[in-house]
Structure 1
Amino acid sequence: MTNLTIPSFLRSLIDTSNNKNIRPKGKINNINTNNHIQTKNMIKNKNFIGRSVASFFKGGLTELKFENNVLNIKEGVNYKAKTFFSGDAEFTIKDHKLTKLMQVIGIDDSEIFSNQELDDIGRTEQFIELLAGDYPIDKKLMLLRTFYPQPLDIKIRLERLGAECNKEISFNGCNENLYFDQNGWLYSKEELRNLRGSYLERNFFEYGYDENSQIIIDGKEYKLDETGHISGIPEEAICIPSRVKLIK
């Protein structure tokens, strides 16, 4: 990792133990009191610290985002990524593990952010670490669904990173594309095949449908045959719940 030199103007904000302006001995005059107040306010100002963190690293920080619905998280790159409401998370990835950049330069982020903001940033960092993880696609999907059980949570986080819904997306460790549903669900190719197969195999007469029922799958209308089955669904059809409409 690159050796970092902390500029004197910021070192006084991080290490106050030897700074006479911040921790003066004896009588505190008005000038020193004002300096102390201003310094504390600057430490608590996340925008000031965020800009300063970027200045520590050659080339600044790279925004992590999908390009053409592909997310390529590279090891050793200093990233920033949008959170829900707390600005940016700033981090780097090494051996598929995330490290906060504030931690790298010795800043305690608990002195800068509120507990609510820390939780927001932490959830974003955990999400990105899962995306960057060295897991097979089925395990990665399982972990995402376990730690982020609300699809809307996944949807917002992916969109904050620039992913487009109702399209296929890919990220680190994916040996295949995933379908990103408008409701936030991620589907593997196998899951999409299984959903299509279930509509082809089902006898809809047993569920109260008839030949006049309206069945719309992925924007195309189908009719039931004399056995109660749907025929002719193409392999590329997306048969997820949000793309299927059944009217008796």
Structure 2
Amino acid sequence: MLTFQYNHFSLKTQQSELIRSINNSVKRNLNSNYSFSDSISIESGKQLLQNQKRLASLNEIQGKNIKDLYANNNILDLDTSSLYKLQTSAGTAAIYQVSNTGNVYMPYQDLGLDENFTLPQSDYGDISKISRILSGLAKDQTAFTVRFSGSSAAEIKDTLSKVGIKPGWFEIKSESQSNRFYLTDGGLVYPEYQIQAQTRAFKDTNWLKDELGYSSNSKFIIDGKTYKLDQNGYLNLPDNVDCVMENIKIIK
């Protein structure tokens, strides 16, 4: 009986020691993994900072000057013989190049940035969005690719504002072509020919036709200024007035 009690006690003691040993081993592994991950995080952070500093220090590459990617009087002139710099939301100086066809992109390989070159994750999104929107406007006078690119109107407006483009008429020039658009306050982009067609329609319509329901007292408020129909029912608008639907209010 005494022997049994002793063996039982010894077995319980051994189990307790084993459990304690396992717990200590797990703790050591956890601490070791945490330290290793923390070390990787620190090294990655240092590498990101070095990459950002490297890009910020560039002023010229292979004889090409690096200019600010910024519009002048709402005209963005993209020259294939130059490189362009634009700061991302994370503060990185992204470098862009323009192809003969108006494609705007960051030439990682030409900049000597190999596959191990890393930037903050948000930078890649910013760089891609700028490339997609500016390339679409430079190559496509219809603005179709930009309006249906997956970016919201607010995102498009914010992206264009980063390169100095404000609501109203703006122009994207490249060696292949020059495209003119209208940017609304809400961020919608319309091609020039669409606004011209809308303006002609407003001018050429006889608004006093019975089926339209307008009268000589009707008011057309365009860009905050009020216009009225003439005695023949037509809207005589000055040449500098553009009929953008978002900027028009009609009171019958």
What TM-score bracket applies, with the shorter chain setting the length? 0.5 to 0.7
Task: Tell me what 2:200 maps to.
Answer: 197
Q: Is the 8 A contact 2:172 2:179 kept in 1?
A: yes
Alignment pair present for 1:234 and 2:230: no
Q: Secondary structure at the match of 1:215?
A: strand
Q: Secondary structure at the match of 2:243?
A: coil
Aligned mate of 1:182, from 174, 180, 185: 185
> By how many angstroms is 1:65 displaced?
0.7
> By how many angstroms is 1:157 displaced?
1.4
Q: Distance in 2 between matches of 1:70 and 1:49?
A: 31
Change (3 A) 1:91 1:206: same
Any stretches of 5+ residues in structure 1 without a counterpart? 1-33
Tell me the amino acid that sits aligned with residue 80 of structure 2: E
Change (3 A) 1:35 1:187: closer
Change (3 A) 1:99 1:184: closer
Task: Tell me what 2:24 maps to.
Answer: none
Task: Tell me what 1:105 maps to.
Answer: 112
Query: For each residue in 1:34-64, what CA deviation from the matched residue of structure 2 results, as whole angstroms up to 9, or x when unmatched?
Result: 998754321133xx42221243553774211
Change (3 A) 1:176 1:112: closer
Q: Secondary structure at the match of 1:123?
A: helix
Aligned mate of 2:132, from 126, 133, 137: 126
Aligned sequence identity (%): 21
Task: Tell me what 1:73 maps to.
Answer: 78
Any stretches of 5+ residues in structure 2 without a counterpart? 1-37
TM-score under structure 2 length normalisation: 0.65
Q: Distance in 2 between matches of 1:78 and 1:177?
A: 22
Larger radius of gyration: 2
Q: Is the 8 A contact 1:43 1:49 kept in 2?
A: yes
Q: Secondary structure at the match of 1:177?
A: strand
Q: Secondary structure at the match of 1:179?
A: strand
Task: Tell me what 2:250 maps to.
Answer: 246
Tell me the amino acid that sits aligned with residue 238 of structure 1: D
Change (3 A) 1:197 1:35: closer
Q: Secondary structure at the match of 2:234?
A: coil
Q: How does 1:18-167 map to 2 (within 5 A)?
A: 39-45=43-49, 48-55=50-57, 58=60, 61-83=66-88, 85-87=89-91, 88-96=93-101, 97-103=103-109, 104-108=111-115, 111-114=118-121, 116-133=122-139, 137-138=141-142, 141-147=143-149, 150-167=152-169
